[in-house]
Amino acid sequence: MNAERHEFRAPQEAAGQRADRFLADAIGSLSRSRVKALIVAGHASRDGHALKEPAEAIRVGAVYALEIPPAIPALPEAQDIPLSILHEDADLIVLDKPAGLVVHPAPGNQDGTLVNALLAHAGDELSGIGGEKRPGIVHRLDKDTSGVMVAAKTELALRRLSESFAERDLERHYLALCWGLPEAMEGEINAPIGRHPADRKRMAVVERGGKAAITRYKVLRSWGTACALVSCRLLTGRTHQIRVHMTHIGLPLVGDPVYLRRTPAAARSLDAPVRDALLAFPRQALHAASLGFRHPINGQALHFESPPPEDMAGLLSLLDGNAE
């Protein structure tokens, strides 16, 4: 596959602009950081001469060219892992992630991840992100959180979707099965989140050094004061945000291996078989139930939903039986 070449004659209104910004704006599908990297790597020219400085001021009338090398194969290995696809087009994939699936390769998890699965599913359709044929992970779900998420297939789609997430121009709702019942059946938790001061592997609500975090919640169902099924809407996207915020107001998630530190007092009101099943639940009972956003290319409003997975649905059935 040949390199993709773009040429532009600099107009009067571009005078004095940085070369990387001018080329990024002219091409439209690449981020400025990507264009900057290509310039530094020797893939840009001005009037046929090498352009080496991304910050060079644009000269009116000069012809600027940028060559985009063919995308190289991604380093993670493509693996045929079954996926539940809710929607797919040339720009993005929306899927229903199962609990237990890690999103991105990392030390200790180099394969068997969502990225490995997406490379196998759509590898030939990926146009190249950062010069590499790989899917663009717009947002992440924890390994043991299930539900709806979106991945980009092109660099432009990734950039625009990332901007939508950063600007909160989307709707994200989660279902959380929590221990206990809040005093207010709906409300907003506005509490900054940062690293736990005594345990760096955990997050916590902190007074200093945290990032703004806002979660709106509404109790959908409750079983006495033992458990509540809560709808959570994220207005920000911090690590473990729902798990930290619900624990902060005294409603830790059923099964949470990090933030549920002891048997909750609320469990005592349940019959022993139901109580034991909830205490033995092997993951946080958290499900990304819906995701709404505008298509990054055509602007169409999109909305996707996923019902609670079988393991969470089983807990709800047990609780319903306990209440009879």
DSSP bridge pairs for 294: 301
> Does some domain include residue 301?
no
Q: Which of 20, 142, 144, 256 is catalytic?
A: 142
Please check whether residue 221 is in contact with residue 194, taking contact to mean a CB–CB distance below 8 angstroms: no
pTM of the model as a whole: 0.77
CA 50 from centroid of its chain's CA atoms: 38
Same domain assignment for residues 84 and 217: no
Q: Do 118 and 14 share a domain, yes or no?
A: no
- Residue 300, in any domain of the structure: no
Task: Specify whether 79 is located in the same domain as 135.
Answer: yes
* Nearest C-alpha neighbor of 321 from the set 268, 286, 279, 273: 273
The number of folded domains in the chain is 3
**Position 160 in a domain:** yes
- pLDDT per residue rounded down to tens, the chain (324 residues): 567 889 899 999 999 999 999 998 988 878 888 888 888 888 889 999 999 899 999 999 999 999 888 765 556 788 899 999 999 999 999 999 999 998 877 766 678 888 889 888 887 777 656 555 667 888 889 999 999 999 998 888 988 998 888 888 889 999 999 999 999 999 999 999 999 988 878 999 998 889 999 999 999 999 999 999 999 999 998 999 999 999 999 999 999 999 998 899 999 999 999 999 999 999 999 999 999 999 999 999 999 999 999 999 999 999 998 765
Say if 47 falls within a structural domain. yes
Tell me the C-alpha distance between 244 and 191, whole Å: 10
Which 3 state secondary structure label does DSSP give 157?
A: helix
Structure tokens at 49: 């001469």
Is 311 a known active-site residue?
no
**Distance of CA 216 to CAs 110, 184, 188, 220, Å?**
35, 12, 4, 13
pLDDT value at residue 37: 85
| Nearest-5° Cα angle at 192, 287 to 290 | 20
Q: Which domain holds residue 251?
A: 171-294+306-323
What pLDDT shows up at residue 178? 97
Q: Tell me what pLDDT residue 30 has.
A: 80
Token pair listed for 281: 């639940």
For the residues of 163-191, what is the DSSP string, one character each? HHHHTT-SEEEEEEEEES--SSSEEEEE-
194, 246: one domain: yes
Domain boundary among 70, 86, 112: 70
180 and 148, same domain (yes or no) = no
Identify whether residues 107 and 232 lie together within a single domain.
no
Same domain, 193 and 314: yes
Domain co-membership, 145 together with 230: no
One domain for residues 63 and 91: no
Same domain, 187 and 261: yes
- 299 assigned to some structural domain: no
Q: Specify whether 187 is located in the same domain as 319.
A: yes
**49-50 vs 146-152, strand pairing mode:** unpaired
Largest CA distance in the chain: 80
Is the Cβ–Cβ distance between 264 and 180 less than 8 Å? yes
CATH number at residue 228: 3.30.2350.10
